Structure 1
Amino acid sequence: MRLVLASNNQKKVVELRALLAGLGVDVVSQRELGISEAEEPHLTFIENALAKARHAAAASGCAAIADDSGLCVDALGGAPGVISAHFAPLVAATADREAQRQAQDAANNALLLQRLDGVADRRAHFVSTLVAVRRADDPQPLVATGRWQGEILNRARGVQGFGYDPLMHIPALGHTVAELDAAQKNAHSHRAQAMAQLLPLLRDVWLL
């Protein structure tokens, strides 16, 4: 069975591949298949994840899994939430998609620090909603959600990961997410928590 990862974010694809290891399926990214990114117009993580999974399944003719994730900051009323990837004004498009993504991450982090300047309550959590569909019109998508609690620092620490990882401090681990290696992140993250719920469903419902 081929399972398409509905993401063009290479670092997210690497994380999802590692979390799906051992499932016994052929995992490919939509980028490898030349599939464009889906529109994400919705107000909730689950609706956007479902839209992305259906888009990848329709374009590939295969089963697909999508992650819609983001950072929710208590003092900002849950923002940036579903617009986490584009919290700051969009960075100009370039031929190097990874460089463009890194520039957007830097702009997003800068805006977050600006919005939290002088704010004492730094509580926040990462959210990941995973949706898997066997085909584009699957009436029974599999859904799982994970949440990872932390706090936003006043400055970035660490060089691993992506997005808001350098600002997101996990008190229970004593490090920012960007200071964790891949194995540590995949043992604790919001995506890891969501995948821990999804894998039994894939095995029990899809019989993988």
Structure 2
Amino acid sequence: MSHSTPPLTSGEHPITIARLRRAPVVLATHNAGKVGELRELLTTVGVATLGALELGLPEPEETEDSFTGNALLKARAAAERSGRVALADDSGVCVDALDGEPGVYTARWAGEPRDWQRAMARVEHELAKRGAVLGAARGASFACALAVATPEGDTLALEGRVPGVLVWPARGTLGAGFEPMFMPHGYSQTYGEMEPDVRAAINHRAAAFRLLCLALGCPVRD
């Protein structure tokens, strides 16, 4: 269900699961939903966490042109400010017929204040303009990059993807963002129709987390 890019590492000392277990890891996001999901995943491998808001950390502007770049930017900023190991994510939906858009600009398509109904309608409008009506022409993937950074400057970053198709009208009220429009391959429900625990076990963040576990040398959660 997932595609990935190889882990990227820098610095002299590899980041290990033992290092993450040494002290609470900072979750570099102000998004309560992401904090909850990441906290639950990390708990399964014995890693305690602190939210960025708990430490009064600001969110840096996302200026990179890739999910991995933005995740690294946020993780580094949190690690430098807090003096702790930090973990950040960046995620979005990439539509095949739109040359990968909205991609890293997924949130921007929702405007300010965020209006995800408008964002989904915009994607559907763009697909209709291209004649992408049948499922085969409506391929998309949800991507998530996870990055870990230490105060010493070591980093680890990787990306997980889940392929699927976009449906219209959007279905379900249990998801956020583009999730009511996205149906992963092998399933008959959109993310928006799935119970949160079911979705969290198979989504792009879970795919990236499994890769993180492999890179850290800890058991992979099924």
TM-score range, shorter chain: 0.7 to 0.9
Matched letter for residue 50 of structure 1: L
Matched letter for residue 189 of structure 2: H
Preserved contact between residue 160 and residue 181 of structure 1 (Cα < 8 Å): yes
Query: In structure 1, what is the Cα distance between the partners aligned to 2:188 and 2:90?
Result: 26
Match of 1:51 in 2: 73
**Residues 165 and 58 (structure 1 numbering): CA distance in 2 closer, same or farther, change over 3 Å?**
same
Q: TM-score, normalised on structure 2?
A: 0.80
Find 2:141's aligned residue among 116, 125, 128. Answer: 125
Matched letter for residue 70 of structure 2: N
Where do 4+ consecutive residues of structure 1 move more than 4 Å?
A: none
Structure with larger RCO (C-alpha < 8 A, sep 6+) = 2
How far 1:56 sits from its partner (Å)? 1.1
Does residue 170 in structure 1 map to residue 192 in structure 2? no
Match of 1:97 in 2: none
Calculate percent identity across the aligned residue pairs: 38
Matched letter for residue 195 of structure 1: F
Does residue 156 in structure 1 map to residue 167 in structure 2? no
How far 1:159 sits from its partner (Å)? 1.3
Query: In structure 1, what is the Cα distance between the partners aligned to 2:105 and 2:188?
Result: 27
Match of 2:150 in 1: 134
Unaligned runs of at least 5 residues, structure 1: 92-102
Does residue 104 in structure 1 map to residue 104 in structure 2? no
Matches within 5 A, 1:1-208: 1-91=23-113, 103-117=114-128, 118-120=131-133, 121-135=137-151, 137-138=152-153, 140-203=154-217
Q: How many residues align?
A: 191
Preserved contact between residue 6 and residue 53 of structure 1 (Cα < 8 Å): yes
**Deviation per CA, 1:7-30, whole angstroms, max 9, x where unpaired?**
111111111112112332321111
Preserved contact between residue 49 and residue 131 of structure 1 (Cα < 8 Å): yes
Q: TM-score, normalised on structure 1?
A: 0.85
RMSD (Å) for aligned C-alpha atoms: 1.6
